Amino acid sequence: MNIEKTKNAVRNVPDFPIPGIQFKDVTTLFKDSQILKELTDGLYEMYKDKGITKVIGIESRGFIMGPLLAERLNAGFVPIRKPGKLPAAVFEESYEKEYGVDTIQIHQDAINKGEIILLHDDLLATGGTMDAAVKLVKNFYPKKIYVNFLIELEDLKGREAFPPEVQVNSIIKYGI
């Protein structure tokens, strides 16, 4: 995978969604078929021997690579969504973001005890969203949890939000 080409393809959007935030737009990665293929292949290589049984994508950009990776890994795909989007009984977790408080949910029947889980999202900033997702998944007593991001903003030290037993990987790193 050409990391520099991929990194250069990310669009920077200043002051979105609020002033002072430098938004990293990954949609520009997905419109290039070669980059999309390289991302999918790279993620597959990272996790092909881990025994992943479910890939969980975080709303909404985790819904793009998550299903592609799940299919390649012969695993199921599960969405984590914002409140009011899932029709059956849910577990719920609230968390603080860089610019407010949010809540995410997962269906209570989404995962079986002892599964090996890969949580995927587009970007690691402070780690709040994914930390909440890890807490949701722990309700199911998984055997192992892996966490993956396309982009990591290293200066924000989001990696520190996760316990040592959760393996965290990212493809593109900005910062330090």
Question: Which listed residue (45, 92, 96, 98) is catalytic?
Answer: 98
Q: How far is CA 59 from CA 19, 48, 84, 106, in A?
A: 22, 23, 13, 11
3-state secondary structure of 131: helix
Single out the residue of 128, 125, 129, 120 nearest to residue 157, CA to CA: 125
Parallel, antiparallel, or unpaired: how do β-strands 144-153 and 116-124 relate?
parallel
**Six-digit token string for 175:** 């910062």
159 is an active site residue: no
Question: Which listed residue (61, 81, 93, 115) is catalytic?
Answer: 61
Residues in the chain: 176
Q: How far is CA 44 from CA 49, 52, 124, 130, 139, in A?
A: 9, 11, 19, 20, 26
81 is an active site residue: no
Q: Active-site residue numbers?
A: 61, 98
